[in-house]
């Protein structure tokens, strides 16, 4: 006899949302889904539902009921929390203890139009890890996956499993933490995560360079990334006024640490730029701590392009190819409304005029020419359903991805089609549940 799907809770029955309260509840939900072949949409607070292709699901499971910090040892630099714990709670606790998540997880709320007072803004720790959300400091501190020490999860086979622990260590065999981070809930439902936390820098200031062309500003960032001044973040805005800064192209470099160290490093950095003939005409000023923090929070959350009203792409490429890539996209006739660069040019945010295809052929052709990946971050549901949201993988890698998916979720019940219809095994044919046992 097949186990019945549990009923929706009263407060969420209009969307047919299931609200498990612990890992056993999650297992029960997935067991019933397997028995009845019911695809599930996995959510936390729903703050990232617009990220990826639309999910094909009959029921929705929210992990918001699995909330709470279960372990925090500031001296050991470790925090453990249920997957549905809001990021705002984690940030508040870490802030009280002078600590932070060094990978600076992005808040997608503004990008997807969430109200400022929306309690879902910031999402959950589970959702943050699931999309590998990482901010400007990633270039130095690593991505979310690099700070994930361990987790507990339930696979699409309704099997509980765990990986990792409380310390960062070298491993042999499969590093499941790296695999689950960035999988968008398509392989398993994480119920608990353990992350590394670090002391918050004592202070920060940013050097802002103006009176440069866009190409010069990007070249300055690349030059600085190879200098011994411990710059932690590198951004370029073609138009600084979008964030209330000087008009024209600007390059901004963040320095963090003790005050004396910052003062010495910024002086030496500016002196180095002024001695370089390519950057000698630049004007160099300082963003003090409060303004610097506000600026990097804006870069983290992609605020320079959130209000442009178009469709949003995120491009990854070699920093040296950033300017030529944007030029090529312009030359292909793509109407770019606004753009900016993070990671010294390695990350490009583009806002383009909306079309039924989001200019995907032209943008991806340019990215393929210069090398990298193009991800459609914001577009209407019908657009994200019609074109690949994530950059198409080479055939061999795509086949490997499908095999991994089959191993964890052979019936493709978890966030079906989040990576596109090509990613999931056929749900019209009988699928063995014994393939990866």
Domain shared by 57 and 149, yes or no? yes
Out of 295, 316, 347, pick the residue that ends a domain. 295
Q: What is the 3-state secondary structure (H, E, C) of the chain?
A: CCCCCCCCCHHHCCCCEECCCCHHHHHHHHHHHHHHCCCEEEECCCCCCCCCCCCCCCEEEEHHHCCCEEEEEHHHCEEEEECCCEHHHHHHHHHHCCEECCCCCCCCCCCCCCCCCCCCCCCEHHHHHHCCCCCCCHHHHCCHHHHEEEEEEEECCCCEEEEECCCCCCCCCCCHHHHHCCCCCCCEEEEEEEEECEECCCEEEEEEEECCCHHHHHHHHHHHHCCCCCEEEEEEECCHHHHCCCCCCEEEEEEEECHHHHHHHHHHHHHHHHHCCCCCCCEEEEECHHHHHHHHHHHHCCHHHHCCCCEEEEEECCHHHHHHHHHHHHHCCCCEEEEEEEHHHCEEEEEECCCCCCCHHHHHHHHHHHCCEEEEEECCHHHHHHCCCCCCCCHHHHHHHHHHHHHHCCCCCECCCCCCCCCCCCCCCCCCCCCCC
130 and 242: one domain? no
What pLDDT does 431 receive? 36
Q: Are 133 and 23 in the same domain?
A: yes
Q: What is the pLDDT of residue 165?
A: 72
- Residues 239, 311: one domain? no
Co-location of 148 and 9 in the same domain: yes
Q: What is the pLDDT of residue 425?
A: 58
What pLDDT was estimated at residue 166? 63
Model confidence pLDDT, tens digit, residues 246-256 = 999 999 999 99
Per-residue model confidence as pLDDT tens digits over 206-236? 999 999 999 999 999 999 999 999 999 999 9
Give the CATH number for residue 283: 3.30.70.2190
pLDDT score, position 421: 78
> Is 67 in the same domain as 130?
yes
Same domain, 213 and 309: no
Q: Are residues 165 and 154 in the same domain?
A: yes
The model carries a pTM of 0.91
Question: Into how many domains does the chain fold?
Answer: 3
Give the range of the structural domain holding residue 271, as residue numbers without chain letter: 203-295
Q: Quick one: 163 and 52 in the same domain?
A: yes
Domain match, 281 and 367 both: no
Q: From the first residue on, what is the mean pLDDT of each consecutive set of 10 residues in the chain (437 residues)? A: 51 67 96 96 92 95 96 97 97 97 95 78 93 95 96 97 71 77 96 98 98 98 97 98 95 98 98 96 98 98 94 98 98 98 98 98 98 97 96 93 94 95 57 31
């Amino acid at each position: 006899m097949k186990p019945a799907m549990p009923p929706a809770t009263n407060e969420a029955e209009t969307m047919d949302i299931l609200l498990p309260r612990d890992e056993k509840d999650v297992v029960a939900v997935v067991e019933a889904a397997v028995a009845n072949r019911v695809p599930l949409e996995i959510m936390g607070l729903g703050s990232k539902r617009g990220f990826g292709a639309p999910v094909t699901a009959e029921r929705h499971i929210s992990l918001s009921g699995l909330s709470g910090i279960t372990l925090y040892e500031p001296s050991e630099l470790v925090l453990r929390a249920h997957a549905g714990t809001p990021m705002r709670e984690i940030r508040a606790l870490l802030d009280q203890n002078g600590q932070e998540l060094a990978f600076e997880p992005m808040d997608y709320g503004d990008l997807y139009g969430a109200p400022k007072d929306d309690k879902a803004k910031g999402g959950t720790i589970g959702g943050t890890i699931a999309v590998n959300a990482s901010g400007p400091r990633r270039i130095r501190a690593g991505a979310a996956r690099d700070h994930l020490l361990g987790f507990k999860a339930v696979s699409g086979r309704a099997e509980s499993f765990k990986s990792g622990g409380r310390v960062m260590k070298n491993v042999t065999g499969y590093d499941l933490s790296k695999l689950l981070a960035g999988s968008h809930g398509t392989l398993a439902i994480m119920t608990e995560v353990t992350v590394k936390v670090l002391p918050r820098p004592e202070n920060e200031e940013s050097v802002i360079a103006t009176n440069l062309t866009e190409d010069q500003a990007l070249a300055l960032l690349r030059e600085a990334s190879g200098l011994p001044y411990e710059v932690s973040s590198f951004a370029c805005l073609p138009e600084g006024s979008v964030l209330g800064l000087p008009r024209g192209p600007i390059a901004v470099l963040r320095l963090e640490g003790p005050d004396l160290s910052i003062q010495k490093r910024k002086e030496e950095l500016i002196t180095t730029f002024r001695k370089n003939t390519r950057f000698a005409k630049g004007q160099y000023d300082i963003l003090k701590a409060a303004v610097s923090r506000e600026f990097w929070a804006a870069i983290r959350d992609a605020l320079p392009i959130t209000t442009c009203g178009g469709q949003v792409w995120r491009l990854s490429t070699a920093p040296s190819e950033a300017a030529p890539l944007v030029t090529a996209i312009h030359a292909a006739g793509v109407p770019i409304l606004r753009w900016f660069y993070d990671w010294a040019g390695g990350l490009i945010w583009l806002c383009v005029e909306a079309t039924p295809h989001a200019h995907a052929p032209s943008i991806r052709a340019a990215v393929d020419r210069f090398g990298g990946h193009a991800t459609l971050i914001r577009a209407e549901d019908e657009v994200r359903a019609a074109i690949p949201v994530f950059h198409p993988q080479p055939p061999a890698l795509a086949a490997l991805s499908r095999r991994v998916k089959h191993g964890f979720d052979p019936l493709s019940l978890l966030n079906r089609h989040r990576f596109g219809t090509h990613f999931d095994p056929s749900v019209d044919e009988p699928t063995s549940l014994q393939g990866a046992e």
